[in-house]
Amino acid sequence: MKVSVRPFHREDALTITELADDKMLADTIGLPHPYEFSHAEEWIRSHPSLWEADEEYNFAIEYQSGIVGTIVIRRNKVHDAGELGYWIGSRFWGRGYATSAVEKILSFGFRDLGLNRMWAMVRDSNIGSRTVLEKTGFVEEAVLRQARRRGSDFEDCLLYAITRRDYQSLE
């Protein structure tokens, strides 16, 4: 499964709104629900300044010229590290799009940005995302107990990471 990743354009706001305004997705990753067009517009408008500041790199995940999700690296320049975040529209789950996009972003992070480490935090219940991270070389490092609110309760999260050395050994 090959996807492409690219920076967002203003005209992507409608597609992002349609994908993100999904209660199942909101419950899984914590997006606001309902997700409105103004949320997508504001989010996309923030990208160029974050990119120029070398702080955050947001990409659209595309398959066959349609957006299926998003992926981001939030950079910590002090520690040459990056936090990975991503989501795929629920109607596209289970097709390998996230795995392919993470592989591309690992290359961008380690080769283009020169990062030493990338990490991601996922809800314990998000089996799909845990599988994506493990398939792409991330290793579970910690359990963050009751780290995220889920409705009126709290849920554990898992911290996954991959280092440059780990990544190079996979190539």
In this prediction, residue 145 carries a pLDDT of 96
- The residue behind tokens 């997700």 is 35
- Name the average pLDDT for the chain: 94
Whole-structure pTM value: 0.94
The yes-or-no verdict on residue 30 having pLDDT over 90 is no
Identify the H or E element spanning 25: helix 23-29
Length of the chain equals 171
Contact 19, 37 (CB under 8 A): no
Give the integer Cα–Cα distance in Å for 63 and 61: 7
The yes-or-no verdict on residue 146 having pLDDT over 70 is yes
